[in-house]
């Protein structure tokens, strides 16, 4: 009898060991997978109770957690909410996260593997988990100037430091106040979410990086770059620039904005054609180069690849796949199916400014633990050599001419030489054109490259031209950086 | 120790009550520490009720200890402290979940902890009654069939119209005078005694070998009657009361005792086949059984399912746990009853859960040790049955909560909220201790030996 009891004793131990083994598998090995589930309210609740690290510009927080004594221990606040909203994103209980709050979530809440050591120390010493801080590359003055400049217009501004690729400003209007979504009052948050998602101006969308627009004449910079790089053109090469360019296979001619020929000449130089932004001149250059050369040049500036992994759903700028001849001519002046984000056009200007080398744009300068140890520091990284330094300086000279003598005059800054290019992209007849201005300054030693897009403004259609509408904003952003 | 494990008769007769008192201090200390910890993390510092809680649980432990000291001095010294620790931790966790439920506004029935303390007191009274009234467990043999009948009546009681109550989808409750009971918990004790008494008488017949098959001696076909009846009864429990856990428990207990009394592994094979067949039949036929199985196979599919929420809590607890008072056990349904193990795993982590399972293992193995040492077959079978009922119950409920097997509604012994289960479990360990007292007591009634003389005797060797 006792031997049977002994066997049962062993069986009972096996049953208990099976329980322990199963729980070990669950709690030690599968825990991460289960904690990462979207429907795991515990993790979400606890993340709301974590002292989430701040998002900083310099040492000033643009997003921070403050002690709260309602449902959760901390309340996320955004001191100048709408100004930085396209970058910081939001942090909501019901509606998830956006922007840096989303992409840098594990660093901000301290659960990132890079902070594992510190977390173990916290667990052992029984300190509550604390998140790391994320410092942005943004320049507060530039960002404020951009947001203020956009004002009640619908549009976006992106500013880049050409030598490094640091994003100095990224503003979009209309914006939204992330504080409304971070509130712990779920009824208010629901209402805010509803009004923001139903707004036809889409305030939640980051127009600077998530939306594609026809770049219009600012794309002529890419066409000019391709032309100069081909070796067949110099800035003084004369090109066909009539008032109306008859395109092959179609009866609809390409016309200049003012309906006249280019600065009084039917054979303007590339420089003059850029100065007056002549569609016929660059259309014919595009036709001569062919779509492949244009596409390759565009790709070297960053078209066709998704930039900026630090923000969610950043759009990839495109040059059309297989355009026919009239479509190629249209594409060469940034129409037809050419689509670009303001970020992409800022990269074009920054690339020209940086002697032809396009730097990889980035938003996160560094990540630090709560005790200010640096976890990671972003180093500037080269993306492509888009054009040779010679071509870059030729393009710079042409852009300087645009600002000094041409369409870009409103972008002038006294005492500083600005290089720039305007753009006015037509879409549909009943919709106002998109106004663009992309520039950098100072032209001889660029500190900032900027792209401004105005999608909609409450002014008469005639006034919409990149120079008049977008250039003053670019100017104020550049002044904000250069004035420092 | 080597003496004890090779020859169960030659146990040095020492009462070990001092050891028990020491272990009880630890058990009470840990429980009070848990209570204070919860106060600090989830309330405003050390709760004012700490003194009351400590005095209550300390007093109950002391009463139980004194009862053993005077009425069963040779009883196993480990079992009572284990029970006190589990009970104390359970009350602390129920209190913690009270706080959590209050925080999220689910205040129906809150607080539960005082009820559980009251039931603990009733349980200890039951413990005293068993220790004092039953001076010798062998007398129970006279009530074999009475208890068997009582067990059956208790099993079917929830099906009686008027007093049966369907709680959480299983009609295994009865309501009398405004209070709910789970008679199955007591049926378990009655049936273990019945099985033991029955098998003491019939084991010789049942041991007779029949046909030999694949190297195993199968019993004779005409002796299959009892196992078939047990099987049908457990199937009936499953079908009419939707109670998978109890069904498995009753049939398993009968099988284990049949095996121990006859030492014929053939019974286990036959029983295993019968059980597998019955389980499959139930799975194929009954929606609620089928659902339990699909819930188990894919717990993530159900929004807000208790297993899913429990697994999330356990994962959230990880290896070291969130810390008492610092998790969200209240987010799981039935966090203080069915799922209390999940709550423990969330706040105490894998480490704490394994410690709890080890404490259960200690109770089980000390119970089986008692069975080994017991000098009469009846006592051996009861001790084996009670210890294995713990083993099965812990395996079924903990396995269900942690996703090892489909979840079935058995109470987590000593921890889960629920008076009936608590009282029944206190009665079970009282019986175990009564038998162990008998087993460890010197065979010839001798004058009590003091520890000093034993020490001298040992030195002489």
Least Cα distance to A134 among A116, A148, A115 occurs for: A115
**What gap in Å lies between CA B85 and CA B91, rounded to an integer?**
10
Residue range A329-355: mean pLDDT, rounded: 92
ipTM field: 0.90
Among A46-50, A343-347, B280-284, B429-433, the range scoring the smallest mean pLDDT is A46-50
Least Cα distance to B88 among B342, B322, B359 occurs for: B359
Please check the confidence at residue A280 and state whether its pLDDT lies above 50. Answer: yes
As its CATH architecture, domain A216-363+382-482 has 3-Layer(aba) Sandwich (3.40)
Q: Can you read off the two tokens belonging to residue A108?
A: 């901000």
**Coil, strand or helix: which one is A451?**
strand
In three-state form (DSSP H/G/I as H, E/B as E, the rest C), the secondary structure along A3-20 is HHHHHHHHHHHHHHHHHH
Instruction: Give the pLDDT confidence of A209-224 residue by residue, as tens digits.
Output: 999 999 988 999 999 9
Q: Give, as one character, the DSSP assignment of residue A25.
A: I
**What gap in Å lies between CA A164 and CA A327, rounded to an integer?**
35
Residue A6 touches chain B, beta carbons under 8 Å: yes
Instruction: Give the pLDDT confidence of A414-429 residue by residue, as tens digits.
Output: 889 999 998 888 776 6
Chain B residue with Cα closest to A26:
B315
Please check the confidence at residue B389 and state whether its pLDDT lies above 70. Answer: yes
Q: A43 vs B316: CB contact, 8 Å cut-off?
A: yes
**What gap in Å lies between CA B268 and CA B188, rounded to an integer?**
20
**Are B401 and B343 a contacting pair, CB within 8 Å?**
no
**Are A425 and A213 a contacting pair, CB within 8 Å?**
yes
In three-state form (DSSP H/G/I as H, E/B as E, the rest C), the secondary structure along A348-387 is HHHHHHCCCEEECCECEEEEECCCCCEEEECCCCEEEECC
Residue A30 touches chain B, beta carbons under 8 Å: yes
Contacts of A224 by beta carbon, 8 Å cutoff, 6+ apart: A270, A274, A282, A285, A395, A398
Contacts of B221 by beta carbon, 8 Å cutoff, 6+ apart: B210
C-alpha dihedral sign at A265, A271, A275, A281: positive
What phi and psi values does residue B225 have, to the nearest 5 degrees? -45, -60
Residue range B278-299: mean pLDDT, rounded: 85
pLDDT of the residue at A463? 57
Q: CA angle, A384 as apex, A378 and A388 as ends, to 5°?
A: 130
**What gap in Å lies between CA B175 and CA B169, rounded to an integer?**
15
Question: Percent of chain B scored above 70 by pLDDT?
Answer: 87
Q: Give, as one character, the DSSP assignment of residue A172.
A: E
Q: Which of residues 288-317 of B touch A (CB under 8 A)?
A: 300, 303, 311-317
- Which residue among B303, B384, B398 places its CB closest to the CB of A8? B384
pLDDT of the residue at A43? 80
Least Cα distance to A461 among A435, A441, A442 occurs for: A435
For β-strands B179-181 and B209-213, DSSP reports them as unpaired
Least Cα distance to B92 among B424, B417, B342, B442 occurs for: B417
**Are A367 and A107 a contacting pair, CB within 8 Å?**
yes
Chain A residue with Cα closest to B256:
A8
Instruction: Give the pLDDT confidence of A283-292 residue by residue, as tens digits.
Output: 989 999 999 9
Q: Which of residues 60-99 of A touch B (CB under 8 A)?
A: none
Instruction: Give the pLDDT confidence of A368-394 residue by residue, as tens digits.
Output: 988 888 888 999 999 999 999 999 999
What phi and psi values does residue B181 have, to the nearest 5 degrees? -130, 155
- Which residue among B315, B319, B369 places its CB closest to the CB of A30? B315
Residue range A250-263: mean pLDDT, rounded: 78
A420: enclosing H helix or E strand: strand A419-425
What phi and psi values does residue A112 have, to the nearest 5 degrees? -65, 145
Residue B397 touches chain A, beta carbons under 8 Å: no
Instruction: Give the pLDDT confidence of A440-480 residue by residue, as tens digits.
Output: 989 999 999 999 999 887 766 665 667 788 889 999 999 99
Supply the pTM of this predicted model: 0.68
Q: Where are the alpha helices (DSSP H) in A242-309?
A: 270-275, 279-289, 291-301
**What gap in Å lies between CA A67 and CA A72, rounded to an integer?**
9
Q: Can you read off the two tokens belonging to residue A74?
A: 């901390």
pLDDT of the residue at B3? 45
- Report the half-sphere exposure of A159 (CA within 13 A, side-chain side): 29
- Which residue among B315, B361, B399 places its CB closest to the CB of A31? B315
**Coil, strand or helix: which one is B170?**
strand
pLDDT of the residue at B344? 96
pLDDT of the residue at B171? 61
* B253, B312, B364, best to mutate vs chain A, most A CBs in 10 Å: B312
Q: A27 vs B394: CB contact, 8 Å cut-off?
A: no
Higher pLDDT, B84 or A430: B84
Instruction: Give the pLDDT confidence of B117-169 residue by residue, as tens digits.
Output: 999 999 999 999 999 999 899 999 999 889 988 988 888 887 777 666 666 55
Least Cα distance to A408 among A441, A381, A438, A444 occurs for: A438
Most confident of A29-33, A261-265, B58-62: B58-62
Residue B391 touches chain A, beta carbons under 8 Å: yes
A397: enclosing H helix or E strand: helix A389-405
**What gap in Å lies between CA B90 and CA B419, rounded to an integer?**
12
Residue range A103-126: mean pLDDT, rounded: 77
A-chain residues within 8 Å CB-CB of B353?
20, 23, 27
pLDDT of the residue at A318? 92
**What gap in Å lies between CA A213 and CA A16, rounded to an integer?**
64
Most confident of A55-59, B24-28, B233-237: B24-28
Q: What Å distances lie between residue B141 and B138, B195, B257, B431, CA to CA? A: 6, 10, 15, 13
């Amino acid at each position: 009898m006792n031997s049977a009891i002994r066997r049962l004793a062993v069986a009972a131990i096996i049953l208990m060991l099976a329980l322990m083994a199963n729980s070990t598998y669950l709690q030690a090995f599968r825990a991460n997978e289960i904690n990462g589930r979207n429907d795991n309210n515990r993790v979400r609740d606890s993340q709301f109770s974590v002292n989430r690290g701040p998002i900083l510009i310099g040492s000033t927080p643009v997003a921070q957690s403050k002690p709260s004594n309602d449902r959760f221990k901390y309340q996320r606040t955004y001191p100048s909410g709408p100004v930085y909203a396209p970058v910081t994103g939001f942090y909501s209980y019901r509606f998830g996260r956006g922007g840096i709050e989303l992409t840098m979530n594990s660093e901000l809440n301290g659960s990132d593997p890079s902070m594992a050591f510190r977390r173990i120390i916290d667990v052992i010493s029984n300190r509550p988990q604390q998140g790391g801080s994320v410092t942005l590359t943004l320049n507060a003055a530039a960002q404020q100037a951009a947001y203020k400049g956009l004002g009640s217009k619908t549009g976006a501004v992106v500013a880049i430091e050409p030598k490094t690729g640091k994003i100095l400003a990224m503003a979009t209007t209309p914006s939204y106040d992330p504080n409304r979504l971070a509130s712990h009052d779920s009824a208010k948050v629901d209402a805010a979410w509803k009004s923001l998602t139903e707004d036809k101006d889409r305030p939640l969308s980051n127009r600077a990086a998530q939306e594609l627009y026809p770049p219009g004449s600012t794309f002529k910079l890419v066409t000019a770059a391709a032309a100069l790089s081909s070796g067949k053109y110099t800035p003084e090469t004369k090109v066909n620039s009539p008032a109306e360019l008859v395109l092959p296979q179609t009866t609809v001619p390409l016309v200049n904005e003012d309906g006249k020929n280019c600065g009084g000449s039917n054979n303007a130089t590339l420089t003059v054609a850029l100065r007056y932004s002549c569609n016929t001149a660059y259309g014919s250059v595009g036709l001569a180069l062919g779509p492949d050369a244009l596409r390759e040049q565009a790709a070297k500036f960053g078209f066709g690849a998704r930039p900026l992994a630090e923000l969610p759903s950043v759009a990839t700028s495109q040059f059309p796949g297989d355009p026919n001849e009239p479509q190629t001519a249209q594409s060469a002046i940034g129409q037809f199916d050419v689509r670009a984000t303001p970020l992409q056009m800022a990269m074009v200007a920054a690339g020209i400014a940086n002697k032809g080398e396009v730097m990889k744009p980035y938003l996160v300068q560094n990540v630090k633990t709560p005790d200010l140890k640096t976890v990671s520091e972003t180093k500037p990284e080269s993306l492509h050599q888009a054009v040779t330094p010679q071509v870059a300086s030729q393009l710079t000279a042409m852009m300087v001419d645009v600002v000094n003598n041409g369409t870009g005059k409103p972008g002038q800054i006294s005492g500083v030489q600005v290089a720039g290019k305007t753009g006015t992209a037509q879409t549909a007849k009943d919709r106002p054109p998109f106004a663009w201005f992309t520039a950098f300054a100072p032209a001889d030693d660029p500190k900032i490259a900027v792209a401004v897009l105005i999608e909609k403004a409450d002014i008469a259609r005639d006034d919409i031209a990149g120079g008049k509408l977008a250039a003053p904003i670019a100017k104020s952003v550049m002044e904000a950086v250069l004035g420092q | 120790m080597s003496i004890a494990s090779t020859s169960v008769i030659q146990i040095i007769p020492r009462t070990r009550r001092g050891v028990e008192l020491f272990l009880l201090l630890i058990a009470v200390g840990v429980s009070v520490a848990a209570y204070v910890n919860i106060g600090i993390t989830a309330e405003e510092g050390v709760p004012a009720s700490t003194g009351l809680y400590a005095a209550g649980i300390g007093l109950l432990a002391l009463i139980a200890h004194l009862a053993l000291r005077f009425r069963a001095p040779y009883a196993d010294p480990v079992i009572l402290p284990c029970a006190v620790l589990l009970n104390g931790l359970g009350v602390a966790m129920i209190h913690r979940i009270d706080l959590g439920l209050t925080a999220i506004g689910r205040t129906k029935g809150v607080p539960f902890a005082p009820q559980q303390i009251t039931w603990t007191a009733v349980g200890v009274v039951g413990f005293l009654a068993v220790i004092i009234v039953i001076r010798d467990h062998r007398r129970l043999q006279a009530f074999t069939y009475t208890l068997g009948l009582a067990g059956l009546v208790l099993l079917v009681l929830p099906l009686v119209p008027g007093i049966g109550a369907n709680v959480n989808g299983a009609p295994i409750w009865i309501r009398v005078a405004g209070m709910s009971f789970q008679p199955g918990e007591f049926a378990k004790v009655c049936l273990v005694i019945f099985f033991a008494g029955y098998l003491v008488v019939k084991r010789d017949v049942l041991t007779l070998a029949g046909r030999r098959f694949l190297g195993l001696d199968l019993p004779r076909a005409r002796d299959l009657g009892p196992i078939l009846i047990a099987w049908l009864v457990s199937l009936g429990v499953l079908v009419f009361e939707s109670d998978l856990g109890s069904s498995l428990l009753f049939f398993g207990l009968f099988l284990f005792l049949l095996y121990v009394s006859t030492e014929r592994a053939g019974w286990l094979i036959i029983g295993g086949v019968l059980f597998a067949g019955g389980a499959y039949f139930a799975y194929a036929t009954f929606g609620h059984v089928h659902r339990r199985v699909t819930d188990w196979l894919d717990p993530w599919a159900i929004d807000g399912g208790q297993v899913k929420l429990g697994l999330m809590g356990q994962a959230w607890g990880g290896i070291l746990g969130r810390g008492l008072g610092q998790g969200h056990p209240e987010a799981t349904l039935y966090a203080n009853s069915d799922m209390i193990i999940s709550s423990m795993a969330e706040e105490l982590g894998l480490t704490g859960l394994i410690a709890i399972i080890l404490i259960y293992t200690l109770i089980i193995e000390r119970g089986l040790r008692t069975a080994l040492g017991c000098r009469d077959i009846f006592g051996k079978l009861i001790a084996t049955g009670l210890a294995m009922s713990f083993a099965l119950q812990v395996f079924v409920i903990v396995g269900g909560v942690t996703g090892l097997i489909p979840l079935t509604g058995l109470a987590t012994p000593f921890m889960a909220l629920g008076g009936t289960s608590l009282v029944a479990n206190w009665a079970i360990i009282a019986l175990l201790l009564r038998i162990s007292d008998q087993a460890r007591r010197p065979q010839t009634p001798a004058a009590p030996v003091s520890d000093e003389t034993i020490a001298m005797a040992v030195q002489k060797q």
